[in-house]
């Protein structure tokens, strides 16, 4: 076995450890592959860094190709796209990490050989029979898995994997079609099994049916660290039921997108959210900001580092509430993109208690106009600011030049796109 093969084998044998990857980066440096070595080192550091810290923010905004690994996708082996494919961002910590399996019947022939080559840990799953999933579950490669994304029904793959000791390295499960009357039973059975007791994050998308029962099922298990709801029909009453039980008692990250929570839902969150939350997304939840006052006074949010309020039509009153919040004074990252905010809103933000601590502020897709730019130009520059994101097309040349002079590389002008969290 060559030195290179031995190093790669060590990485596959210890997929959660950084040291073998960094040793391999040194090997690449010594063998005339400095760009690939730098990519490995940078991605390892990125994975170690909280997303609101300057290094991670700068990398996302200034070197997105390093985050995605786009320059190195061409080095991955070609695969038959109708059977398996590399997703849009296949890399993590410098090596191939994510793979899409369109049909489990092709596991032995196409997918498992890739697991034997790379430290793959995230698998997007679609169709398959129970017999197919049994073969997948019997594979030793299951030990590498850390994230599973179910594009269709999870019933049969979870029936196989939930009791497999080798599957207990999985930390997060994503349900992209969390609909169907049987979903609560699937979750309840999962949480009783070894896999469910090991999982730290559950993420639900699209599933209005039986949501009451799903919330009850979640609370049959232990505390989670990460929880997501998107297009699920979440209500204020369901928020209260969720946080009355153990599932949400130790959350560090909560993401709520495209849910009609409204101000009543914000009040419910303020009453029930656990202490220790560092990352909160409330994107397009049908609020104009009236419920923000309750959140802004919630002492349990004193440790919040990142807040995403994007796609909510927020009023200047909402900005004033945010700006004056003692609880939110430690915010490092704030996403206010597509909120319809104007110059008055910007004035409150730059005079806020959290302004001096900001590392990332997203103000894209907002009608800031000249007066809003003036407020930004008159404000002191936060010492750790790594990204101030604005619409490049909506600002005149003089405004852009003045902002660059004021904020330097931190200001990012982006045209007609929204940065996903």
* Residue extents of the structural domains in the chain: 3-48, 79-221
Residue 2: partners with Cβ closer than 8 Å, 6 or more residues away? none
Higher model confidence: residue 165 or residue 394?
165
What are 89-107's pLDDT values in tens digits?
999 999 999 999 999 999 9
Confidence band for 1, pLDDT divided at 50, 70 and 90: low
pLDDT-above-70 percentage for the chain: 98
pLDDT at position 158: 96
Closest by CA to 269, choosing from 232, 297, 243, is 243
pLDDT at position 369: 87
User: Taking the CB of residue 285, how many other CB atoms lie within 10 A of it?
Assistant: 22
Q: Are 111 and 77 in contact (CB under 8 A)?
A: no
Residue 411: partners with Cβ closer than 8 Å, 6 or more residues away? 388, 390, 403, 404
pLDDT at position 416: 56
- Whether residue 418 is predicted with pLDDT greater than 60 in this model: the reply is no
Q: Are 212 and 232 in contact (CB under 8 A)?
A: no
Give burial (CB, 10 Å; 0-12/13-18/19+) of 420. Answer: exposed
What are 281-323's pLDDT values in tens digits?
999 999 988 899 999 999 999 999 999 999 999 988 898 999 9
Distances (CA, A) of 173 to 15, 190, 194, 276: 19, 11, 14, 22
Q: Are 307 and 328 in contact (CB under 8 A)?
A: yes
Helices 262-272 & 236-244 angle (0-180, nearest 10): 10
Instruction: Tell me which of 3.80.10, 3.30.70, 1.10.3930, 2.30.29 is the CATH number of domain 79-221.
Output: 3.80.10
Confidence band for 187, pLDDT divided at 50, 70 and 90: very high
Confidence band for 55, pLDDT divided at 50, 70 and 90: very high
Confidence band for 419, pLDDT divided at 50, 70 and 90: very low
- Whether residue 230 is predicted with pLDDT greater than 60 in this model: the reply is yes
Gap between the Cα atoms of 169 and 148, Å rounded: 11
Region 191-213 average pLDDT = 93
- Provide the b/e sequence for 150-182 (b: ≥16 CB within 10 Å): bbebbbbbbbbbbbbebbbbbbbbbbbebbeee
Largest CA distance in the chain: 66
Helical residues (DSSP H) of 49-167, grouped into ranges: 54-62, 64-68, 112-115, 130-137, 155-161
pLDDT at position 304: 98
Gap between the Cα atoms of 20 and 10, Å rounded: 6
What are 98-151's pLDDT values in tens digits?
999 999 999 999 999 999 999 999 999 999 999 999 999 999 999 999 999 999
Lowest mean pLDDT among 48-62, 219-233, 351-365, 405-419: 405-419
Handedness of CA 288, 280, 180, 127 (dihedral sign): positive
Closest by CA to 119, choosing from 17, 30, 238, 49, is 17
- Average pLDDT over the chain reads 94
């Amino acid at each position: 076995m060559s030195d290179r093969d031995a190093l790669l084998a060590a990485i596959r044998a210890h997929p959660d450890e950084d040291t073998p990857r960094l040793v391999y980066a040194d090997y690449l440096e010594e063998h005339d592959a400095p760009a690939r070595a730098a990519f490995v080192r940078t991605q390892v550091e990125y994975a170690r860094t909280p997303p609101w810290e300057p290094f991670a923010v700068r990398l996302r905004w200034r070197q997105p190709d390093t985050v995605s690994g786009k320059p190195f996708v061409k080095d991955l082996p070609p695969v038959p796209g109708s059977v398996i494919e590399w997703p849009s961002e296949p890399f993590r910590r410098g090596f191939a990490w994510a793979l899409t399996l369109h049909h489990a019947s092709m596991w032995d022939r196409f997918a498992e050989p890739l697991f034997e080559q790379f430290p793959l840990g995230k698998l997007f799953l679609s169709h398959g029979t129970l017999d197919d999933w049994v073969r997948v579950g019997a594979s030793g490669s299951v030990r590498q898995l850390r994230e599973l994304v179910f594009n269709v029904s999870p019933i049969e793959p979870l029936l196989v994997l939930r009791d497999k000791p080798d599957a207990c390295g999985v930390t997060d499960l994503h349900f992209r079609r969390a609909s169907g009357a049987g979903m609560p039973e699937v979750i309840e059975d999962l949480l009783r099994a070894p896999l469910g007791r090991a999982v730290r994050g559950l993420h639900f998308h699209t599933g209005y049916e039986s949501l009451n029962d799903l919330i009850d099922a979640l609370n049959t298990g232990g505390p989670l660290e990460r929880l997501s709801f998107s297009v699920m029909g979440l209500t204020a009453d369901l928020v209260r039921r969720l946080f009355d039980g153990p599932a949400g008692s130790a959350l560090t990250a909560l993401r709520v997108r495209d849910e009609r929570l409204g101000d009543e839902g914000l009040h419910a969150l303020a009453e029930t959210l656990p202490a220790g939350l560092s990352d909160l997304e409330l994107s397009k939840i049908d609020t104009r900001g009236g419920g923000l006052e309750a959140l802004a006074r919630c002492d349990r949010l004193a440790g919040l580092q990142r807040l995403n309020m994007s796609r909510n039509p927020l009023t200047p009153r909402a900005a004033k509430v945010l700006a004056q919040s003692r609880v939110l004074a430690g915010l490092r990252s704030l996403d206010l993109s597509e909120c319809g905010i104007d110059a008055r809103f910007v004035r409150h933000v730059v005079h806020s208690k959290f302004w001096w601590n900001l590392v990332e502020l997203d103000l894209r897709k907002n009608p800031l106009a000249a007066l809003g730019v003036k407020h930004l130009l008159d404000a002191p520059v936060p010492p750790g600011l790594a990204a101030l994101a604005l619409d490049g097309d909506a600002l005149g040349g003089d405004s852009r030049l003045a902002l660059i002079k004021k904020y330097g590389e931190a200001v990012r002008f982006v045209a007609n796109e929204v940065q996903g969290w």
